Amino acid sequence: MKSHYRVVVIGGGVVGASVLYHLAKFGWTDVCLIERSVLTAGSSWHAAGGFHALNADPNIAALQAYTIDLLSEIEKESGQSVGMHMTGGMTLAGTPDRWEWLQSAYRTFQSIGIEDVRLITPEEAGELCPVMSTDGILGGMWADREGYVDTTGTVHAYAGAAKKRGAEVIEHNRVLELYQTAEGWQVVTEKGTVSCEHVVNAGGLWAKQVGRMAGIELPVSPLAHHYLLTETIPEVADLDRELPLVVDLEGFTYMRQDQKGMLLGIYEIDHQHWMMDGAPWNYGFELLQEDLDRIANELTLGFQRYPVLQEAGVRNWVNGAFTFSPDGNPLVGPVRGKRGYWCACAVMAGFLQGGGVGKSLAEWMIHGEPEADVFGMDVARYGPYAENREYIRQTTGQFYTRRFVMTYPNEQLPAGRPLKMAPAHDAMTAAGCRWGVSWGLEVPLYFAPSPEFQEKPTLKRSNAFDIVGAECRAVRESVGLLDISGFSRFEVSGPGAKAWLDHLMASRLPGPGRARLAPMLSETGKLKGDLTVFNWGDGTWWIMGSYYLREWHMRWFHDHMHEGVDLRDLSDDIVGFSLAGPNSRKVLEKLTADPIAELPFMGCGSFDIGLIRARVGRLSVAGELGYEIHCHATEQVALRRALLEAGAEFGIREYGFNALLSLRLEKSFGIWSAEFTQGYTPAMTGMDRWIAWGKGDFVGREAALAEREAGGARQVVVTLEVDAADADASGFEPVWWNATRVGFVTSGGYGHTLGKSLAMAMVDRDAAQVGTELAVHVVGVESAARVIAPSPYDPDGKAMRL
């Protein structure tokens, strides 16, 4: 062991070994992995080792596909067998909704270029897995590239390939302490102290402790997970081919062949946490005692699905712990304020996702950003609210329990809620508000007409459809009131504020008393934000964005900070409401003697609104005359009362973000995580029209100019009208042109004002001309669609500028 390395990776499981391999592969060979025991001594050795295509996040599914491709590569490079069994696999559906969902998921895979999947009938499923009962199966989805690996062999293959490239693996050497230094980190181990520029927490079951060594509380917890291994089963031994990997969603089980028998794994409803503060340091190759009573119901379903199990002997029970995050996805990336500290934790499907995690983290560390959009596994998708032990217990348990449970896009899950609430939350609840959640904050979805109303989970249009339509009409025809606590607000001040903002934002900065839309770019010219900058004219500026990106954006701001700049996150101190609709100005005129009528479009200033001194900006995502009214959190209840009383004569109506989705689609207004992501460039999304090409240097300028001078983007965002009957596109549905896939939907919904199903989509430029006839799969059903001109409602924007 040397005294200095460029990178120290802590943890010798599949994720740590993959990170080490990718760092070396991409050219950083002065790297080492430190393991307290031996490689695989944690979760890796007892993992079932399955790999499959399915993931609810298409970006993570694409990284899983990368991992599958990589396995044979590291086997050849290392000379170590990974024991790959490419058996193929299928996911089964036993309810009509699940079958619809699988058909939709099949199309999603097509959107992201995964072609080795197909839908199968129950009869085909029975032929592919002859030891399985097909009772109750409505259909399934088959993937060619599914199967399993030898878990120990795979970890050693990653490590062996890394060592051949110059990396070092140090076993039997527990990390004791971490100290941040001006140059990076000091890693205190049992065998001495090592200094490094970067340290990677790939601690697995010990990730919590390795985080705490650096003063970081990670939202992770281990949970116990069962599977059984049978003795030889004659019906399996007599087959001329290996059984496929099978996921029975309604049965909560997965199955694969093991030697001449079977492995049956269970995601039980009655989950069990284990060692929430991290595993004991001397734990490694032990297992937990099996708890058959706790898994009895799921076990019964598994034995019914595979009748041969009823006569088989159980060779071994495995009840081992795996580490989970609140949403089940990994926690990857740098931690704000801990320069050089990286997470590669909570990868509960390490042999499926480990390759993609290692690749993305190595790219991030070396090049400044990963190639893929990895926000779905970025550690910055959580904030301090997720450090709470009870929050972690509820949310990780909910994910585990629902691992194979059908989740609907309009379903609101209860774990960790309610946590953060706007001051007017109770009053809005009394008015019928139904709530969603964003970064721990309750946000309004719609206002139900009666306390008895219950929205039914569905893949199609819900029974709240007419309620949302009525809210849209209120905004278009009169005035609507929307709680906008769910936006981020950052205050920028100090002598260097203007210069810093000018360097960070690609747009021109607004003048005093004005606001401006501002794209923010990475060094490679990809988007880092679709923000709004306010110049209040008193030396202070605001940056407004998405509430759930608060930590993500703060990390970016922190990493690009200049001297003379004071930055504050005001998001929980300043809240407010948006007024939108042709009567919104009339409402405000009843509450202020200030010249609100003189405030121009995209203007901003301080106004007395009733008893409250508020900051007001004239803009609206709804595409109507509108005002965003910001006040201190202690004043929100009073502000709501005043606005509702003043708007009563105009029929003011409170509305939620479901209605805003419809309204903004009718204006072709994109949003982050849909039309705008860190995987897209300004030219792809139309955000390039806000770039100030002639101003001085700004982050990403050279890359954006290069794209412009090369003729623009290969794909661009368009608006589609879709001939859908009872469902609307929502995202990642494939778009077809003459039977050729030319893109995918970024977001969609119903335009209640226009009476049309609408979508926004990323498509090839050749297919982006207005009038081009296309097709879109909506909940698995092909529907005709066509490209229409942007902003089908009020294309000239007259309503916003009244």
DSSP class per residue in 527-558: EEEEEEEEE-SSS-EEEEEEGGGHHHHHHHHH
344-382 confidence digits (pLDDT tens): 999 999 999 999 999 999 999 999 999 999 999 999 999
Residue 546: both structure tokens together = 């998405």
591-617 burial code (b ≥16 CB/10 A, e <16)? bbebebeebeebbbbebebbebebbbb
154, pLDDT greater than 80:
yes
Q: Would you state the structure tokens that stand for residue 267, as one six-digit string?
A: 């995601």
- Per residue in 155-197, pLDDT (tens digit) is 999 999 999 999 999 999 999 999 999 999 999 999 999 999 9
Following CA atoms 456, 462, 463, 465 in sequence, which dihedral angle do they give, to the nearest 10 degrees?
Answer: 150
E-strand ranges in 586-733 read 604-609, 612-617, 626-632, 653-654, 715-722
**Quick one: average pLDDT of 147-161?**
98
Give the pLDDT confidence score for residue 109 in this predicted structure: 87
Band (439; pLDDT cuts 50, 70, 90): very high
468 closest CA partner among 654, 643, 628, 640: 654
Quick one: which H or E segment has residue 322? strand 314-324
Which of 170, 149, 148 lies closest to 159, judged by CA? 170
Long-range CB contacts (within 8 A, 24+) of 706-713 = 706/525, 707/525, 707/681, 707/682, 707/683, 708/683, 712/683, 712/765, 713/681, 713/683, 713/684, 713/765
Structure tokens at 4: 């200095």
What CATH number labels 4-332+340-364?
3.30.9.10
Neighbours of 489 (CB within 10 A): 25
pLDDT digits (tens, 9 = 90+) for 43-101: 999 999 999 877 767 788 888 889 999 999 999 999 999 999 999 999 999 999 999 99
CA distances for 208 relative to 280, 323, 328, 491, 794, angstroms: 11, 10, 16, 33, 53
Share of the chain above pLDDT 70, in %: 100
pLDDT digits (tens, 9 = 90+) for 659-699: 999 999 999 999 999 999 999 999 999 999 999 999 989 99
pLDDT of residue 114: 82
What is the dihedral angle through the alpha carbons of 697, 703, 707, 709, rounded to the nearest 10 degrees? 50
Q: According to the model, what pLDDT value does residue 62 have?
A: 83
Q: What is the rounded average pLDDT of the residues 112-137?
A: 95
The pLDDT value given to residue 104: 92
Task: Give the pLDDT confidence score for residue 61 in this predicted structure.
Answer: 83
pLDDT in tens, 468-492: 999 999 999 999 999 999 999 999 9
pLDDT, averaged across the chain: 96
With tokens 């340091």, the residue in question is 281
pLDDT score recorded for residue 43: 95
CA separation for the pair 742, 340 (Å, rounded): 40
Burial of residue 366 (CB within 10 Å: 0-12, 13-18, 19+) is: middle
Question: How far from chain centre, in Å, is Cα 216?
Answer: 21
Q: What is the DSSP string of 86-146?
A: ---EEEEE-SHHHHHHHHHHHHHHHHTT--SEEEE-HHHHHHHSTTS--TT--EEEEESS-
CA–CA–CA angle 780, 783, 789 (5° rounding): 125
Closest CA to 723 of 790, 781, 664: 781
What's at 402, amino acid-wise? R
Write down the pTM of the prediction: 0.96
Q: Which positions ≥6 away from 601 have C-beta within 8 Å? A: 618, 619, 800, 801
The residues spanned by each domain of the chain are 4-332+340-364, 425-483, 669-793
The CA radius of gyration of the chain, in Å to the nearest whole number, is: 27
Statement: residue 111 has pLDDT above 90:
no
- Residues 509-528 have pLDDT tens digits of 999 999 999 999 999 999 99
Query: Distance between CA 115 and CA 107 in Å, rounded?
Result: 10
Query: What was the pLDDT predicted at 112?
Result: 80
pLDDT of residue 84: 96
Q: CA 393, CA 416: separation in Å to the nearest integer?
A: 9
Pairing mode, strands 314-324 and 175-180: unpaired
Is 85 strand, coil or helix? strand
Res 226: pLDDT: 97
Asked if 143 and 116 touch (Cβ cutoff 8 Å), the reply is: yes
Per-residue model confidence as pLDDT tens digits over 402-415: 999 998 999 999 99
Q: What is the distance between the alpha carbons of residues 223 and 614, in angstroms, rounded to a whole number?
A: 48
- Measured distance between the N- and C-terminal CA atoms of the chain, rounded to whole angstroms: 71
Average pLDDT (320-326) is 97
CATH number of 669-793, picked from 2.40.30.110, 3.40.30.10, 1.10.645.10, 3.40.1160.10 = 2.40.30.110
> Taking 90 as the threshold, does the pLDDT of residue 746 lie above it?
yes
Q: What percent of the chain has pLDDT over 90?
A: 96
Between vectors from CA 219 to CA 217 and to CA 225, what angle results, nearest 5°?
Answer: 130
Pairing between β-strand 192-201 and β-strand 341-345 as defined by DSSP bridges: parallel
Three-state DSSP state, 718: strand
Burial class of residue 217 in the structure, from the number of CB atoms within 10 Å of its CB (0-12 exposed, 13-18 middle, 19+ buried): middle
How confident is the model over 703-732, as a mean pLDDT? 95
DSSP three-state, residue 323: strand
